[in-house]
Amino acid sequence: MAVAARAVGFGLPLAVATAWVLARYRFPGRQLLNAVVHLPLVLPPVVTGWLLLILFGIRGPIGSLLLEWFGVRLAFTTAGASLACAVMTFPVMVRAVRLSLEAADPGLEQAARTLGAGWSDRFINVILPLASPVTIASWPPTLNHSEIFI
């Protein structure tokens, strides 16, 4: 349960931010970002795990830097399992939040803007509550509900 909680705790804020960017902005490279976000859904899980081992192993480009600079080893640890869980569930969370953001009425956000609400006020008081049912429903994507009571 700790692995899933860490994966969601780190992945959900990043998923909300990524979904926000993909839902609200049009920019060069948007399709590439969308493809990279959804890549773990397309690749077989074995390939995704192998790529994570290559990148975050102690001899990998990211893993060697983490070990050298911070003394952090991710391969074959619970932190590494959390990373793998986050990578595999990230596209599902982004897609769910993105669909809820796209379905929300942009007029509500514009009305809040005309009433003087700043960006953070609009995000916290208008956008997140509109997206919260989907965000809460996707919260423990890797957690078996029978494990909650164990």
Model confidence pLDDT, tens digit, residues 6-40: 998 999 899 989 998 999 899 999 999 999 999 99
Burial of 84 from C-beta contacts in 10 A (0-12 / 13-18 / 19+) = buried
The answer to whether position 29 is within a domain reads yes
User: Does any domain span residue 149?
Assistant: no
Closest CA to 104 of 12, 20, 18, 35: 20
Q: Which amino acid is it at 79?
A: A
CA distance 126 to 67: 42
CATH number of the domain to which 82 belongs: 1.10.3720.10
The number of domains in the chain is 1
Mean pLDDT of the chain: 86
Asked, for residue 146, whether it belongs to a domain, the answer is no
Q: Which domain holds residue 125?
A: 2-141
pLDDT of residue 134: 63
- pTM of the entire predicted model: 0.79
Give a yes or no: residue 35 inside a domain.
yes
What pLDDT score does 140 carry?
Answer: 53
From CA 111, how far away is CA 76, in angstroms rounded?
Answer: 50
- Which element (helix H / strand E) includes 38? helix 30-42
